[in-house]
Amino acid sequence: MGTEHEVLLTRIERNGAVWAEIELNRPDKGNALNMPMIGRLAGIVGEIERDCTLRAVVIRARGRFFSTGGDIEAWRVLSPREIARNWILPGIQVFDRISSLPQPVIAVLSGHALGGGLELALAADLRIAVQSAKLGTPEVTLGMISGWMGVRRLAETIGVARARHMTLLGSPISAAQAFEWGLITAVAEDNADLEGQLDEWLARLCANGPAAMALAKNILATMHRDLRHQHADAAAEASGTQDCKEGVRAFFEKRKPAYRNR
C-alpha cells in the first residue's frame, strides 16, 4: 500500500458546513505511524492550512485500533542522533501544526490509542472514544519514552500526578477512566453512538464563529512552551540505552525484558 493511501484526506460538505477528515489507513499494522505517514500528515496539514473554507478537522482511523503508536520497526534501526533529528522532531513539528490549526480538531477513537497514537490524539482539541477503547503510554515497557511531546501534553491535559501514573506504570486506562480524568471529553457506547455524538459536535462547531474559535485556541496555546528539543534529546538518550535495546528485542521475541539500568 502506498503512503498516500495510508493517511487519507477527505473534504466533506453537509448542510452547508465543510470540514476535513484525516484517516489513518494502515489497519494491518494497527495504524502504527512510520516516517512516510508522518510526512504524509505534514502534507495534509499543509492543504488544510491553505483552505479557509474548512470549519473543523476530524482525525480518525480504520480497523480495530486508532493507532498503536510509532512503528517500532521504523525507529529501532536509528542511532540516537537519527532518532532526534529524523524521527522525533518531524513528528513533533507536524503534531504542533495540527494543534495550531485555526479550526477545532476532533480525535475520534474507535479503538485503542497507545503511545504515539495517543500523542496524535492529544494534538486535537477534543477527543471522543468508544467505551471499549484503551488509552496508554506504554513506552517505558520498551525502555523508551514518549517523544512527540506526549509527556508534556498529557500533563497539561490531566495534571502531573495522573501523567506520572500513566507514563511510569505504562499500563493503559479505560475510556471511562480517561473521561473521568479529562483525557477524553466524551465516551460512546458503540460506533453508532460515536458517530451520532461526532455529528452533534460538528453541527455545533460549524455553527460557531470561526474567527472566535481560532482566537480562543490562540489564547490557550500560550500555555505551551517550546520544549521540542528537550523532548528530542530525552528520547534520543533513552533510545541509546542498553535497556531500550533489550526492551525492543524482548518485544519482538515475545518475552519479558530483563532491564539492567544501563
Angstrom CA distances, 13 to 18, 21, 28, 35, 202, stand at: 4, 11, 30, 30, 11
Would you say 167 and 151 are in contact if contact means Cβ atoms under 8 Å apart?
yes
Gyration radius from the chain CA atoms: 18
* CA–CA separation, 231 and 146 (whole Å): 8
User: Pairing state of beta strands 112-114 and 65-67?
Assistant: parallel
Would you say 68 and 114 are in contact if contact means Cβ atoms under 8 Å apart?
yes
Q: Which three cell numbers stand for residue 228?
A: 521540542
Active site (annotated) includes residue 139: yes
Q: Kindly name the residue from 119, 180, 200, 237 that is annotated as catalytic.
A: 119
Would you say 32 and 26 are in contact if contact means Cβ atoms under 8 Å apart?
yes
Q: Kindly name the residue from 139, 180, 189, 200 that is annotated as catalytic.
A: 139
Active site (annotated) includes residue 246: no
Strand arrangement of the beta sheet that strand 112-114 belongs to: 65-67, 112-114, 134-136, 173-174
Would you say 91 and 147 are in contact if contact means Cβ atoms under 8 Å apart?
yes
The catalytic residues are 119, 139
